[in-house]
Chains A and B, each alone.
Chain A
Amino acid sequence: MAANNLLEVKNIKKYFPLSKGWFSAKGHVKAVDQVSFSIQRGETFSLVGESGCGKSTLGRLINGLIKSDDGEIIFKGKNLTGANEKAWRSYRKPMQMIFQDPYASLSPRMKIKDILDEPLKIHHPELSKETRKTMVQEILDVCGIDAYHLDKYAHEFSGGQRQRIGIARALILKPELIIADEPVSALDVSIQAQVLNLLKELQENYQLTYLFISHDLSVVEHISDKIAVMYLGNIVEISPAEDIFSRPKHPYTQALLSAVPIPNPKVKRERIMLKGEIPNAANPPKGCKFHSRCPHAMDICKTVEPQLKKVEGQMVACHLY
């Protein structure tokens, strides 16, 4: 593939065993099932899907927080699969994460300066205390937090400010890739806009690459260059952002788009109502996993699992094409 790829994921797979013991069901939840994609330097690649589709698991797999069962993760041309915990710790330096819940992702017992100092201590023990302090102050400034907050604890900040601190922590190691797992979904609309703007600014200033995970299509549209739609552990469609909103290919993408309520009472649309709910990931339907809810389901959909293929510049996994 292109040398410009910062991250390449090939056929990655993660099955979670269902807890044994008291609970009756046994087997596996196929959280991520044979997923492949690649991200180019400087772009924002988004993963969208409803809860339980495996998008967050995928983010954690790439960061090595969870070990994959199968497949390859190639980051900056280096294959990270099978590395041990110690090796992973150094791989994570250029690949940082931002988490969904700004209230829970910061240690409640550390001051802001210690939270931000910690990554430096781990990866740059050679730096002096003063240098580290200057770096912490610089990064806070970049993220829009005043330096006099350094001695405060996380709980003394509002949600938006905390998410800024979370971003600062990710940024302080000067990473190339940032995996942002639903970074704005816990925030109020007015704050959400602030944080999204910050992320965009940072990308421009530091040439960052984002893997942006979200369930909110309107947020995703705003920030992404390329979008992958996930359903039950599979990617069903990968398209450039403009295309996916103007001409969604996969029936699921279409349904998802039409379900989003539009904050304008004047716009009346033809709605695609999906039948039923997302099936249990421990026991997904055979063939195309979406066939049980698909308005266009055909006989082949029940038996043969469709593969991603190129349709008009978009990648779609559907028997319709």
Chain B
Amino acid sequence: MYDLLNVKGLKTAFKNNNQRVSVVNGVDFGINKGEIVGIVGESGCGKSVTSLSIMRLLHDTTGDIQDGKVTFKGENLLDLSERSMRKIRGKEIAMIFQEPMTSLNPVMKIGKQLMQGIILHLKYSKEKAKKHAIDTLKSVGIPRAEDIMNEYPHQLSGGMRQRVMIAIAMSCEPELLIADEPTTALDVTIQAQILELMKRLQSDRGTAILMITHDLGVVAEVCDRVIVMYAGRVVEEASVDELFESPRHPYTKDLIESVPKIGERKSRLYSIPGHVPNPNQMPNGCKFAPRCQHAMEICFNKEPELTSEEKRKHRCWLYQQNNVGREQNLGSK
């Protein structure tokens, strides 16, 4: 049990051409107070949907949470009324998104967007909210905060907008910040600035962060613990050091392997054959089996469970207790 957020058996499906397709299928994980947890995976693995499901933000989509439990500070969010859920959103759990260009209302002044949440959740008067908003803007490193209050998003650069997004998210001092690919759309030099800012906020305020990203580099730099997802499932969970040092799941291994790394020039990159399965046509058994180098017969027939091993978890037949050939199999690579 984790002391801030526990997700158990989360299952979310989308309706497409009258078919229900599970995009997130039985996801379990948790976050402790003040911790930075990363969810990493390739596009379509369900990492964003997981975060939206936690926030119950599947409005305006065909998505629907089908099963599971999301316990936040002892309360199951999935049981709350919409009205109570609104009190959680933005106040207890805040969220920032990938596209700083489109995630702010283009026709509303920054100040108003910022103050809206403050007035709503903290019940501040207008003046107090304004002061608080300016303070928050300053705390995320925005120069000329007073002027920016009266500007529109399009007048700011991408990095600035992402800072504003963070300011909006942090303005009500949430306990958990979900960051969905917060730096993907930014240039490297700006990405470095934003990551630095997030780390600082976390250490200053003790806010827990759920960092959703596809970039192993970002994970390695900021996260304490990492969850690897593939095809709507958690395939591995470990502390960041353990994960990069001794990845257990073949997918994690391959993923780390296939990233080109500066200073390690090779004539050929390692690459995973095949492609991510279509959610309509999921293979039986382990979803990674068709691309896996170590696949055994059982992998194609039966899906492995997420099993714990000391402080880490993985979902692979290679490590299931009744499997004898595990060392041998890995060693053969």
Contacts and interface: CB of A to CB of B under 8 A. Distances in A.
Q: Do chains A and B touch in the complex (CB under 8 A)?
A: yes
Interface of A: 50-51, 158, 160-161, 188-194, 196-197, 200, 215, 217-219, 221-222, 241-242, 245, 255-266, 271, 273-274, 277-278
Interface stretch (B8-16, B54-62, B271-279, B323-331): B271-279
B196 interface: yes
B271 A193 contact: yes
A278 B262 CA distance: 24
Contact of B188 (A191, A217, A219, A222): A217
Contacts of B145: none
Contact of A265 (B244, B262, B268): B244
Interface stretch (B69-77, B86-94, B128-136, B217-225): B217-225
A217 B244 CA distance: 21
A212 to B, nearest CB: 13
Interface stretch (B115-123, B171-179, B253-261): B253-261
Interface in B41-93: 42-43
Contacts of A259: 188-189, 191-192
Interface of B: 42-43, 157-160, 187-193, 195-196, 214-221, 240-241, 244-245, 254-256, 258-263, 265-273, 275-276
20 contacts: A50-B188, A158-B276, A161-B275, A189-B214, A194-B273, A215-B187, A218-B262, A221-B263, A222-B260, A241-B265, A255-B189, A256-B189, A258-B192, A260-B262, A261-B217, A263-B259, A264-B261, A266-B241, A277-B160, A278-B187
Contacts of B218: 261
Which of B217, B262, B270 has its CB near the most chain A CB atoms (within 10 A)?
Answer: B262
B289 to A, nearest CB: 15
Contacts of A160: 275
B191 A193 contact: no
Given A261-B220, A263-B219, A273-B192, A188 B187 contact: no
B267 to A, nearest CB: 7
A48 B17 CA distance: 43
Contacts of A255: 189
B259 A189 contact: yes
Contacts of B269: 193, 196-197, 222
A200 B267 contact: yes
B272 A190 contact: yes
B189 A218 contact: no
A313 B11 CA distance: 58
Given A245-B263, A265-B241, A260 B268 contact: no
B189 A217 contact: no
B231 to A, nearest CB: 13
Contacts, number: 125
B244 to A, nearest CB: 5
Contacts of B258: 189-190, 192-193
A186 to B, nearest CB: 10
B240 to A, nearest CB: 5
B242 to A, nearest CB: 9
Contacts of A161: 275
Given A200-B268, A265-B240, A193 B260 contact: yes
B42 A188 contact: yes
Task: List the 10 shortest-distance A-B pairs measured between CB atoms, nearest first.
Answer: A261-B217, A193-B271, A263-B216, A50-B187, A190-B272, A188-B42, A193-B258, A259-B192, A193-B269, A222-B260
A237 B244 CA distance: 33
A264 B244 contact: yes
A190 B189 contact: no
B266 A188 contact: no
B42 A189 contact: yes
B276 A188 contact: yes
Contacts of A261: 191-192, 195, 215, 217-218, 220-221
Which of A263, A264, A271 has its CB near the most chain B CB atoms (within 10 A)?
Answer: A263
B287 to A, nearest CB: 14
Given A263-B259, A274-B189, A277-B159, A222 B271 contact: no
Contacts of B189: 50, 255-256, 259, 274
A50 B260 CA distance: 19
A111 to B, nearest CB: 21
A263 B261 contact: yes
B188 A190 contact: no
Contacts of B256: 263
B323 to A, nearest CB: 25
A262 B216 CA distance: 8
A161 B275 CA distance: 9
A257 B188 CA distance: 9
A163 to B, nearest CB: 12
Contacts of B245: 266
Nearest to B251: A190
A278 to B, nearest CB: 7
Nearest to A221: B262
Contacts of A264: 220, 244, 261
A222 B187 contact: no
A259 B266 CA distance: 22
A141 to B, nearest CB: 17
B288 to A, nearest CB: 11
Given A188-B43, A218-B261, A197 B268 contact: yes
